[in-house]
Every structure is written in structure tokens, then in C-alpha cells.
Amino acid sequence: MHSPSKANVIAALEAGGTKFNCALLDTDLNLIAQAAFETTTPAHTLAAVRDFFYQSVATNNAELIAMGIASFGPVDLIPGSPTYGFITNTPKPDWSNTDICGYFARELSVPITFETDVNGAAWGEKVAGAARDLSDFIYVTVGTGIGAGIVVNNQLVRGIRHPEVGHMLMPRDQILDDYAGCCPFHLGCLEGLASGKSIESRWGVSGKFLRANHPAWLVEAQYLALMCANLTQLLAPQKIILGGGVMEQPQLMQMIRDYFLVYMNGYGPAAVLEQTADYIVKTGLNGMAGILGIAELALAQLAQERF
């Protein structure tokens, strides 16, 4: 039973390949406490997260009612699967087959809502960001890797597994671009050609150190514009939102929109072709999208279960 003197709170975890962002929120999604832990081994990192939630719940004299986890992947999101709630066959050392959901369900004894990191961030854009009031949109993160959360008809898209937009195969002119990509699985997939990792592999230096007029950004803008054009024709979203470390390059967004219009070649609705600056946009949530999104999803799941 919940004590009437204690405020109900939600634990939100954004589990990334570099760090785990944790936040405690009230049921109106106001932030109560926040911390980040380096992603080392599952034993160390998961225990640090657990201890943070133990301590922050106790300090605030609160009652933890649910947890949301938005995790790097690949992950198993299919209810009933023997590995539901696991980080599955990730190339990240030590993290393959980690039962992240099971761990927190045991340690914190609350219902867990589980999503991909990009699904959490996409939902955060709907809750508080660029996709408020939209039913159909796509959030793409362009960082070390590339991933997307896709919302169609107010639902996160999930079929036989979560979409893997980063591994869509791109048209590549092998004379103009003789770099085949850095993905270990595919020649010429989007992540292999345009992720932060690929920029470093292609040019020998991290994108952070490339000047704004370096040819790297032309290549980058072209592939991301192709992605936007393909997603537009395939899913007809109301908006495409771009986030992640690579998108912090201020010159990149307008270049993507310009190439996008070239590739669309006039074939599309006016809202897309004439208001492209409102159609392809940057996230404005300053890294909080994943936390807000997964917390809201956890609250929604709890409400559904109680109903």
C-alpha cells in the first residue's frame, strides 16, 4: 500500500553506450533528482544506478511507483520473449545478453517500462518537444551510431523488432564516394556512411575537429538528406526531428534541408517542400527527451495496468 504522506515518484533511466542518465521525477514529470554514471561493466553501472534511486527516493521521502528504461541496443522489446528486457547481441564489450529490466525489477520492486533509447527520446519530443500535438513523426539521433524512433498514428512503431533506420542501405556513387562505410554488417548503410564513428573512420579525425566548411559536412548532409527523403516517401511523417552529437554542427541543418529539396525534386506536399525549416528540425530538449519520454511511458503503462 502507498503511504499517503509520501509523494509518488517515477525512476527514469536513459541507458547509453557512454553513460547512464538517471532521473527521479514526480507524476507531473517535474525533475526531483538527477545523476549520470559512466557505462563500464553491467555489475558496476547497474549497481550505481540502483544506489542512486535508493538514495534519492529515501532523501525525498518519496514512494517509487514505476521505472522507465530507454536503452541502447539492440534490445528485446517483444513481450513474452525469453529475452524480453535484455540488451541482446551488442558489440559493446560485457553488455551482450544483459537482463537490464530483470535487474531493476528485482532490485527496485516496481513495474518496468522498457524501450529503445531512441523510442524514449522520440516520445519525449511528443511530451514536451518539437512533436507536441503530432500523431506521426520521426526522431533520429545522429551520434556515434544512427537510430530512430518512429511514431505512426500516436504509437511507437514496433514490428518483429524495433526499426533500425541506421542500417537502411543508401544509394552511393562509388566514384564520388569510394568509402564503403564502417558498419561491420553492411556495405553502404546509413550508419556506416554518416554516423559520428564513420566521420572519424573516413577522415581520420573526430567531426568535432573538422572546420565548418570541410568537405566532410557535404558528404554528411547528402546522406542525411537522402535519409530524410526516404523516410518522407515511406512514412509521410508530419515532422522529422534530428538530434545527437553530430547535429551539434550548426552549419549542417540548412545543408540537409537544401539537399533534401534537391532529392525530393518537387514531389511532395507543400508543408514539406515550402516549409522545410518547420519540417526538418533540431531537437530543442537539450538531452532531456529520453528521460521525459520514458518517464511518461512508464506512467502511462502504470495507468493502463491499474485500469
Chain residues in the site for Zn ion (CB under 5 A): 167, 183, 185-186, 189
Taking the least distance from each CB to Zn ion, the nearer of 171 and 269 is 171
Contact 72, 17 (CB under 8 A): yes
How far apart (Å, rounded) are the C-alpha atoms in residues 72 and 20? 10
Least distance between Zn ion and beta carbon 193 (Å): 9
Q: Please report how close the Cβ of residue 168 comes to Zn ion at its closest, in angstroms.
A: 9
Beta carbon of residue 164, minimum distance to Zn ion (angstroms, whole number) = 8
Our CB check for Zn ion shows the closer of 68 and 188 to be: 188
Closer by beta carbon to Zn ion, 118 or else 295: 118
- DSSP conformation letters of 120-158: HHHHHHHHHSTTTT-SSEEEEEESSSEEEEEEETTEE--
**DSSP-assigned letter for residue 27:** T
For Zn ion, the closer CB: 74 or 129: 74
Nearer to Zn ion, 129 or 145 (CB): 145
Q: Residue 187 CB, nearest distance to Zn ion (Å)?
A: 9
Identify which of 162, 165, 163, 144 has the alpha carbon closest to the alpha carbon of residue 247: 144
Least Cβ distance, residue 255 to Zn ion (angstroms): 23
Residue with Cβ nearer Zn ion (167 or 282)? 167
Measured from the CB atom, the residue of 73 and 293 that comes closer to Zn ion is 73
State phi, psi for 286 to the nearest 5 degrees: 50, 45
Which residues, other chains included, contact 24 with Cβ-Cβ below 8 Å and sequence gap of 6+? 9, 10, 11, 12, 31, 32, 33, 34, 53, 56, 57, 60, 62
Q: Where are the beta strands (DSSP E) in the chain?
A: 7-15, 19-26, 31-38, 62-71, 112-116, 137-142, 146-152, 155-156, 239-243, 280-282
For 8, the grid coordinates are 509518488
Residue 140, beta-bridge partner list: 148, 242
Q: Collect all residues with Cβ–Cβ distance below 8 Å to 180 and sequence separation of at least 6.
A: 172, 187, 188, 192
Q: How far is the CB of 184 from Zn ion (least distance, A)?
A: 8
Least distance (Å) between residue 167 CB and Zn ion: 4
Cβ at position 227, least distance to Zn ion in Å = 13
Q: Residue 166 carries which DSSP code?
A: G
Q: How far apart are CA 217 and CA 246, in angstroms?
A: 10
Q: What distance in Å separates the CA atoms of residue 148 and residue 140, rounded to the nearest whole number? A: 4
Closer by beta carbon to Zn ion, 158 or else 167: 167
